[in-house]
A and B are shown apart, each in its own frame.
Chain A
Amino acid sequence: MTLTPALDAKLAEDGPAISGLKPGMDPISDAAAGQWTLIWRKFLNQKVALFCGGVILVLYLIGAFAEFLAPGLPDTSRAQYTYAPPQSIGLFTPDGQFQLHVKGYTVAIDKAALRRTFVVDENIIVPVGLFVEGPTYKFWGMFEANRHLIGPLDPTQTMYLLGADRLGRDLLSRLIYGTRISMSIGLIGVCMSLFLGVVLGSISGYFGGWIDTVIQRVIEVVSAMPTIPLWLGLAAAIPLTWSPIHVYFVITIIVSLLGWTGLAREVRGRFFSLRNEDFVTAAKLDGSSERRVIFRHILPSLTSHILAVTTLAVPSMIIAETSLSFLGVGLKAPVVSWGVLLQDAQNIRSISTAPWLLIWPSLAVVIAVLSFNFFGDGLRDAADPYET
């Protein structure tokens, strides 16, 4: 049988017909790209998640450099500035000179409501500068310093960019210090959760049998119980006499104690489905010990998922801390967290007098939670680069 040249050419086709997405573009090759490269490429496509990752980074940086970033100290109270409203930064003084400044207040008495109200006084100019000297703090509790990113040039004057609370404390400074506590509780809590989840998950998986059953039942029971009553019950048992740092750690433990169940369930489920994969059977037949199978073959397939699930667990930790502190059974003054700040906004009276006490801390919580959610979601979508 002889072939015509045209047929011959057609047979020479050795693959399906493809072309680039746009004219002149080559199809993308990833023949030698490993798991993390593929995940990274997939993740880079998710602009929102990427942006939220940036927001989270900024929040942690704020937490890390709270002392420097805050214009003042979180617990300096000035009775005369009770519920002073937020001031905005102006660029030019009335006489046309460039000078960062805020306008001062005058106090008027509202006769009908019998309370003081603040009126912005166009005539009082409080000059504001960057990298100014202000109240002295101990950076990370170690180095004494007094530089602040922003603040009134004259340390005796006041600046309330986000307003003041009932004791005349600066909300901005408190919010910045609160970022440190709230964001770190999320992080430490999730690490503890992960630790608990991994330890109990391994015990469960390693011993199997009745131990596995018991642990699974405990997870089931805990996750079937409504969380807030349970948190309340545990947190309420913290003695009032404990030091703030003590309370901080116990609250973190409580929050993570209830957070690990979901994590453990997810990891266990994936672990068991991976255990039945052909490539894991192949690894066993290759002579790998149980431990090598787990660490060399199963865990690398799990890590990206664990990372995503862990990220998605952080927001619930932050919300838990905030809720507990808000209800008065979590962190307490003098510790400053977003939840503690929200305690000042507990009733309609204080909210209507000083709405900023509700708005700013809430916004902080929502931004943090939202960012973690979007970021974690992006991670999860990118976590399995091999699914079609």
Chain B
Amino acid sequence: MLNYILKRLVYMIPTLIGMSIISFAIIQLPPGDYLTSLLSTLADGGSPIDPATVERLRSQYGLDQPVWIQYGKWMLGILTRGDFGFSFEWNQPVSEVIWSRMGSTLAISFAALLLVWAVSLPIGIYSAVRRNSIGDHVFTFFGFIGLAVPNFILALTLMYVSFRVFGQSVGGLFSPEYVDAPWSPAKLWDLILHLWIPILVIGMSGTASMIRILRANLTDELSKPYVTTARAKGLPEYKVIVKYPVRIALNPFVSAIGWVLPELVSGVTITAIVLNLPTAGPLLLRALVAQDMYLAGSFILLLSVLTLIGMLVSDILLALLDPRIRYN
């Protein structure tokens, strides 16, 4: 088991390197280097430019050196000092800005993942077992809608509906009066009132695809001989299904995190922009529009790492569930 986890960890390293290269490439994409943008911004603002600072930054990020050295310096900075570069828009090191935003991104993604599981598991089982029943068709239809409506449209629609029906504005995580208030049950309730829309929006398409996966896998498993064996034992039908095929169809269900998670993180990004949530999304968009590239690149890198960690967790869960993986 430990050996297996270790293997997965080692296997992650090239993927991590790949992700960091892509993130760095995005930093490098806009014309002109980061310092020219910084200088022009500062000049626009009329702030005095200290040539010494410019020189220090230039050598710190290796801007006068070949690209791969710049990449090396960036990575070295991250790995040794936790230094992701400098955000000229915020006039702060990126690391100062980024962590709180990543925290809320993680929290919302995780909540959405729990919702995906909690909803798709029973529905998936129902749909597979009662294949082609009316309930199955209804769920399948809603599943398709869930897949077809892009996150941001769903967010806008729910925003409009909630505005119309409840007369409530749903942007942000708190109503204005609670933003700076200390934590209290009322504030928590306010948070929950604000949070259900983003979590629903983010979880929707993931739930739909998980239902489809579970339904397909479970349908396959239901026709396997071991199900007949379980029936031949005299087990009641629900026990036959829950103990055997469902248990085995859970494996692909768990390992599907691997690609549901990137989707969720993706969804958090765009939903947060629409609903103005304090996660990485709005900041990333702003950074990109302003070409604050170290901030943007760092966000992209960290969001990718987040999904990678999620995949590792799913691998470990899978090994716990499936002895065949554990023992090989």
Assuming A236-B289, A373-B144, is B160 touching A351 (CB within 8 A)? yes
Assembled-state Cα–Cα distance A362/B23 (Å)? 32
Q: Contact partner of B29 among A225, A237, A351, CB < 8 A?
A: A237
Q: Is the CB of B157 within 8 A of A358?
A: yes
**Interface contacts beyond A226-B262, A232-B284: sample of 7 additional A-B pairs, CB < 8 Å, sorted by A:** A217-B15, A233-B297, A236-B291, A322-B150, A323-B152, A351-B159, A362-B149
Closest to B262 in A: A226
Assembled-state Cα–Cα distance A218/B26 (Å)? 16
Report B246-274 CB contacts with A as 1/0, cut-off 8 Å: 00000000000011001101110110011
Listed by A's residue number, 19 A-B pairs whose Cβ atoms lie within 8 Å are: A222-B22, A224-B19, A224-B258, A224-B307, A225-B19, A228-B267, A229-B284, A229-B300, A232-B269, A233-B26, A237-B29, A319-B150, A327-B270, A348-B163, A348-B169, A352-B163, A365-B149, A373-B144, A373-B148
Assuming A217-B15, A233-B296, A362-B153, is B304 touching A224 (CB within 8 A)? yes
Total interface residues on A, using CB and 8 Å?
Answer: 42
Q: Is the CB of B22 within 8 A of A230?
A: yes
Assembled-state Cα–Cα distance A355/B153 (Å)? 12
Q: Contact partner of A327 among B14, B262, B273, CB < 8 A?
A: B273
CB-defined contacts of A183 to chain B, threshold 8 Å: none
Assuming A225-B307, A373-B144, is B300 touching A217 (CB within 8 A)? no
Tell yes or no: B30 within 8 A of A by CB: yes
Within the complex, the shortest CB–CB distance from A7 to chain B, in Å, comes to 35
CB-defined contacts of A225 to chain B, threshold 8 Å: 19, 22, 262, 300, 303-304, 307
Tell yes or no: B135 within 8 A of A by CB: no
Q: Is the CB of A226 within 8 A of B150?
A: no
CB-defined contacts of A221 to chain B, threshold 8 Å: 15, 18-19, 22
Within the complex, the shortest CB–CB distance from B156 to chain A, in Å, comes to 6
CB-defined contacts of A223 to chain B, threshold 8 Å: 259, 262
Tell yes or no: B323 within 8 A of A by CB: no
Main secondary structure of the interface of B (DSSP, over half): helix
Interface residues of A (CB under 8 A from B): 217-218, 220-230, 232-234, 236-237, 239, 315, 319, 322-323, 326-329, 342, 345-346, 348, 351-352, 355, 358, 362, 365-366, 369-370, 373-374
Assembled-state Cα–Cα distance A224/B26 (Å)? 16
Assembled-state Cα–Cα distance A290/B203 (Å)? 46
Report B152-168 CB contacts with A as 1/0, cut-off 8 Å: 11001101100110000
Most buried by B among A220, A229, A234, A370: A229
Assembled-state Cα–Cα distance A218/B29 (Å)? 19
Q: Is the CB of B289 within 8 A of A328?
A: yes
Closest to A328 in B: B289
Q: Is the CB of B156 within 8 A of A229?
A: no
Assembled-state Cα–Cα distance A327/B273 (Å)? 8
Q: Is the CB of B160 within 8 A of A224?
A: no
Q: Contact partner of B160 among A239, A328, A358, A370, CB < 8 A?
A: A358
Assembled-state Cα–Cα distance A237/B307 (Å)? 24
Tell yes or no: B171 within 8 A of A by CB: yes
Within the complex, the shortest CB–CB distance from A246 to chain B, in Å, comes to 15
Within the complex, the shortest CB–CB distance from A368 to chain B, in Å, comes to 9
Q: Is the CB of B288 within 8 A of A233?
A: yes
Assuming A224-B307, A328-B289, A365-B153, is B26 touching A370 (CB within 8 A)? no
Closest to B156 in A: A358
Q: Is the CB of A323 within 8 A of B26?
A: no
A-contacting residues, B163-190, CB 8 Å: 163-164, 169, 171
Tell yes or no: B45 within 8 A of A by CB: no
Closest to B164 in A: A352
Closest to B27 in A: A233
Assembled-state Cα–Cα distance A234/B288 (Å)? 9
CB-defined contacts of B151 to chain A, threshold 8 Å: 323
Assembled-state Cα–Cα distance A346/B282 (Å)? 14
Assembled-state Cα–Cα distance A284/B291 (Å)? 55
Assembled-state Cα–Cα distance A351/B19 (Å)? 38
Tell yes or no: B325 within 8 A of A by CB: no
Within the complex, the shortest CB–CB distance from A185 to chain B, in Å, comes to 14
Assembled-state Cα–Cα distance A326/B14 (Å)? 34
Assembled-state Cα–Cα distance A230/B18 (Å)? 13
Q: Is the CB of A366 within 8 A of B148?
A: yes
Most buried by B among A348, A355, A365: A348
Assembled-state Cα–Cα distance A352/B299 (Å)? 33
CB-defined contacts of A374 to chain B, threshold 8 Å: 144
Assembled-state Cα–Cα distance A322/B270 (Å)? 12
Q: Is the CB of B147 within 8 A of A373?
A: yes
Q: Is the CB of B300 within 8 A of A233?
A: yes
CB-defined contacts of A222 to chain B, threshold 8 Å: 22
Q: Is the CB of B150 within 8 A of A323?
A: yes
Tell yes or no: B108 within 8 A of A by CB: no
Assembled-state Cα–Cα distance A366/B204 (Å)? 14
Assembled-state Cα–Cα distance A319/B266 (Å)? 13
Assembled-state Cα–Cα distance A362/B300 (Å)? 28
Within the complex, the shortest CB–CB distance from B102 to chain A, in Å, comes to 12
Q: Is the CB of A224 within 8 A of B311?
A: yes
Most buried by A among B147, B151, B169, B270: B270
Tell yes or no: B285 within 8 A of A by CB: yes
Closest to B296 in A: A233
Q: Is the CB of B148 within 8 A of A315?
A: yes
Report B111-129 CB contacts with A as 1/0, cut-off 8 Å: 0000000000000000000
A-contacting residues, B274-316, CB 8 Å: 274, 280, 284-285, 288-289, 291, 296-297, 299-300, 303-304, 307-308, 311
Q: Is the CB of A327 within 8 A of B160?
A: no
Q: Is the CB of A229 within 8 A of B303?
A: yes
Pairs of residues from A and B, 8 with the lowest C-beta to C-beta distance, nearest first: A221-B18, A237-B29, A236-B288, A233-B26, A226-B265, A228-B266, A369-B148, A226-B266
Within the complex, the shortest CB–CB distance from B224 to chain A, in Å, comes to 15
A-contacting residues, B222-243, CB 8 Å: none
Assuming A229-B284, A236-B289, A323-B152, is B308 touching A224 (CB within 8 A)? yes
Assembled-state Cα–Cα distance A236/B28 (Å)? 12
